[in-house]
Amino acid sequence: MPILFFLLIVLAFLSLFLGSTYISFSSVIKHLLGNELENTSSAFILTNLRLPRVLTAISAGMGLSVSGLLMQTYFRNSLAGPSILGISTGAGLGVALVTMSASLFGVDFFLNGYSLTIASVLGSILVLLIVLLLSYRIGSGVLLLIAGVLLSSFIGAFLMILQYFTNPEDVQKYLLWTMGSTTTTSLFDAVLLLVIVIVGVFFTFFLIQPLNALMLGEKYASSLGIDLKKTRLLIILITGLLTGSITAFCGPIAFIGLAVPHFVRMKSTSANHNLVLPYTALVGGIAMLIADAIAQVPFYDIQLPVNAVTSIIAAPIIIMTIVQLKTVRD
Amino acid sequence: MGANGAGKSTLLKSIMGELPLQSGEVLLFDKKISEFSAQEKAQAVAIVTTERNFNPYLTVWDVLSLGRVPYLNFFAQLRQEDVQIIESYVSLLGIGDWLQNKFNRLSDGQKQKVLIARAFIQDADLIVLDEPTAHLDVKNRVEVFSLLQKLSKDKNKAIICATHEINIALDYSDRTWMIDKHANFIDDSSSKFNQEIVYCNLF
């Protein structure tokens, strides 16, 4: 675990060098230590572009992976995750309503950046509640995943209608957001997001025992003295907060929340969450830093949408997992 | 014992305090089950259900160590005494070779053995099993019951078990109860049941 933590720090540091402008090693060190740089444009780029980008990538990777872990354990479904179950789309609906409110309703809900975050958190909690209610009726197997995908396209339909009636500028703003990005945040917002994620992950550590017990299903968990109602509520609040706020800042980042917990569980010798949880958080941060680095397309003056990169990396991992799970089951 | 739908599982759920009672009280060691805190109950009653839809990444060791959940702090780190308890059952049941295997990969008979070990590792005074021999072949059915009998004697635990295995149950249990076809509850306190009595009353 210390090695992974070290790797995360190193990658985060290296990531500060990525971008279209060359900034020397000594300048970066100097700047990080709080010294004034002679080259003010380098200082500006580091403070307002690269540092926020790196912090946002780490927060997003950690938060989404931990959310995915919570959902996979709770629903006892290895393919559950924020993007599959429609949680991200729910967050997207919140964001769309706010960004397009002015041209749609004539009232601008976009008071400041945080109305976006709040709408997004509410949107994801709403969808989580619907998924939870559905899981009581249809169990937590393949049917729940299908329901999640359907729910996603159901909400997607509303999103399409919203876009149809909105002016092109707002639509473009929204579309850019859906491609995913770690670069649109200010340093203050990036630190805020990091704090939110750390708080969310911190509370997850109090769920280690319930999560462990839930791997045997709710009946066994309750026979082991777990308070199911409290656990469920905490899981919804944490997942909603993490997915919602990350999605508001970075757009609906695909697949990280699904692939990372899997990857960790495949490598882990034990399914105990006191091992899986910290590893998931760390690997999540690392994975997102790597995805973000690829999206920066080092040495070229272009940027790719982060969402395209995460999908390209994660989809093969997920397919591999499905194949492996199949052999575990048989 | 009782026919399908007679109410065996319902009765077990009531005993464990999972269902609201229409009348009466369930007493466990002279204390009402409804007055147990969640943790007290977990240390008093352990269960083995027919549920098998577990997390596919669980190893046998993971399943066994989950028996210690009621005794651990929030970080779920096994203490030395927990490991000793788990290892004592591992050697008692001879399941040491499977510890690192995924639980889902075991055969039905092996799974049942592990789940029974898990229930004992929970170190509750009462262990409740719902049809522990469902899906098992004849050899495994006898093995499960003789294992339960041996463990209950060795470890001084009470075991309540709902079952359709009339022959085996009569051989291995100290007491038997029936829910008959008219939904009457009959116990064997007056005279020990035999096969004939049971079949007449159940079907």
Do A205 and B47 lie within an 8 Å CB cutoff?
no
Question: Taking residues A174-200, what's their average pLDDT?
Answer: 88
Does residue B68 surpass a pLDDT of 80? yes
The tokens of A214 are what?
């839930």
Chain A hits for B39, CB-CB cut-off 8 Å, are: 225
Q: Which residue of A has its CA nearest to B17?
A: A223
In this prediction, residue A300 carries a pLDDT of: 75
DSSP string, A189-229: HHHHHHHHHHHHHHHHGGGHHHHHHHTT-HHHHHHTT--HH
* B127, containing H or E segment: strand B126-130
Q: What is the pLDDT of residues B23-58, one digit of tens each?
A: 888 888 888 888 889 999 999 999 999 888 899 899
- In-domain check, residue A118: yes
Contacts of B51 in chain A (CB under 8 A): 216-217, 219-220
All residues of chain B having their beta carbon less than 8 Å from the beta carbon of residue A271 are 55, 57-59, 62
Three-class DSSP category at A250: helix
Which of A223, A234, A276, A328 is the best mutation test for B, with the most CBs of B within 10 A? A223
Count CB atoms within 10 A of the CB of residue B131: 18
Q: Could you tell me if residue A15 is inside a domain?
A: no
Confidence of residue B83 (pLDDT cuts 50, 70, 90): very high
- Domains of chain B with CATH codes: 8-202 (3.40.50.300)
pLDDT given for residue B190 in this prediction: 60
pLDDT bin (cut points 50, 70, 90) of residue A326 is: low
Write down the pLDDT at residue A61: 95
Range A288-315 burial, b when 16+ CB lie within 10 A, else e: bbbbbbbbbeeeeeeebebbebbbebbe
Q: What is the pLDDT of residue A197?
A: 97
| pLDDT of A327 | 61
The per-residue pLDDT for B176 is 87
pLDDT of A22 reads 82
Whether A183 has its CB under 8 Å from any CB of chain B: the answer is no
Q: Spell out which residues of chain B touch residue A1, defining contact as CB-CB under 8 Å.
A: none
Q: What is the largest CA-CA distance in chain A?
A: 65
Residue with tokens 């402008």: A21
- Does B76 touch chain A if contact means CB atoms closer than 8 Å? yes
Q: Does A106 touch chain B (CB under 8 A)?
A: no
Residue B14 has a pLDDT of 86
Assigned token pair, B69: 């959940």
Is residue A32 in a domain?
no
Residues 284-323 of A with CB under 8 A from B: none
Q: Tell me the pLDDT band of B189, cut-offs 50, 70 and 90.
A: low
pLDDT at A162 over 60: yes
* pLDDT range class, residue A176, cuts 50, 70, 90: confident
The pLDDT value given to residue B125: 92
Domain count, chain A: 1
State whether residue B27 is helix, strand or coil. Answer: strand
Q: What is the pLDDT of residues A296-306, one digit of tens each?
A: 877 777 788 88
CATH of the domain at A184: 1.10.3470.10
> What are residue B130's phi and psi, to 5 degrees?
-105, 115
Answer whether B59 touches A (CB < 8 Å).
yes
Mean pLDDT value of segment A151-156: 91
Decide if A179 is inside a domain. yes
Interval A123-152 mean pLDDT: 86
Structural domain of residue A68, as residue ranges?
57-329
Q: Is residue A26 part of a domain?
A: no
Contact B57 A223 (CB under 8 A): no
Mean pLDDT of chain B: 89
Q: Do B74 and A208 touch (CB under 8 A)?
A: yes
Determine the residue among B19, B40, B66 to mutate to test chain A binding: the one whose Cβ has the most chain A Cβ atoms within 10 Å. Answer: B66
What is the phi/psi pair of residue A320, to 5°? -60, -40
* B102 touching chain A per CB within 8 A: yes
Which range of A103-117, A312-326, B100-114 scores highest in mean pLDDT? It is B100-114
The three-state secondary structure class of A330 is coil
- Taking CA atoms, what residue in B is nearest to A272? B62
Measured between beta carbons, the chain A residues lying within 8 angstroms of B105 are 328
Q: Is residue A43 part of a domain?
A: no
Give pLDDT, residue A73.
93
Residues A216-260: tens digit of each pLDDT: 998 999 999 999 989 988 998 999 899 999 998 888 887 899 889
Confidence of residue B144 (pLDDT cuts 50, 70, 90): very high
Asked if A1 has any chain B CB less than 8 Å from its own CB, the reply is no
A78 touching B, CB under 8 A?
A: yes
Edge-first strand order for the sheet with B126-130 is B45-48, B126-130, B158-162
Is some CB atom of chain B closer than 8 A to the CB atom of A275? no
Over 70: is that where the pLDDT of A97 sits? Answer: yes
| A308 in a structural domain | yes
- Bigger pLDDT: A165 or B77? B77
Residue A33 lies in a domain: no
Residue A328: what pLDDT?
55
Given a cut of 70, is residue B127 above it in pLDDT? yes
Q: How far apart are CA B6 and CA B113, in angstroms?
A: 27
* 3-class DSSP state of B173: coil
Across the A:B interface, residue pairs with CB atoms under 8 Å apart total 94
Residue A330 pLDDT > 80, yes or no?
no
Contact across the interface for B47 and A223, Cβ inside 8 Å: yes
A205 to B54: CB separation less than 8 angstroms, yes or no: no
Which residue of A215, A225, A270 is in closest CB contact with B54?
A: A215
Of the pLDDT bands very low, low, confident and very high (cuts 50, 70, 90), residue B159 is very high
Q: Does A40 touch chain B (CB under 8 A)?
A: no
pTM of the model: 0.91
Give me A242's structure tokens.
């993490």
Instruction: List, for residues A59-80, the tens digit of each pLDDT value.
Output: 999 999 999 999 999 988 878 8
Q: How far apart are CA B47 and CA A195, in angstroms?
A: 41
Chain A interface mutation, best of B57, B74, B79, B111, highest count of A Cβ atoms under 10 Å: B57
pLDDT-above-90 percentage for chain B: 51
Give per-residue pLDDT as tens, A19-56: 878 888 888 888 888 777 778 888 888 888 899 999 99
Whole-Å CA distances, A50 to A17, A22, A63, A158, B35: 8, 12, 20, 35, 58
Q: Which of A111-120, A174-183, A212-221 has the highest mean pLDDT?
A: A212-221
- Separation between Cα atoms, residue B78 and residue A66, nearest integer Å: 23
In 3D space, the residue among A189, A230, A237 whose CA is nearest the CA of residue A213 turns out to be A230
At A308 the pLDDT is: 86
Bridge partner residues of B2 (DSSP): B179
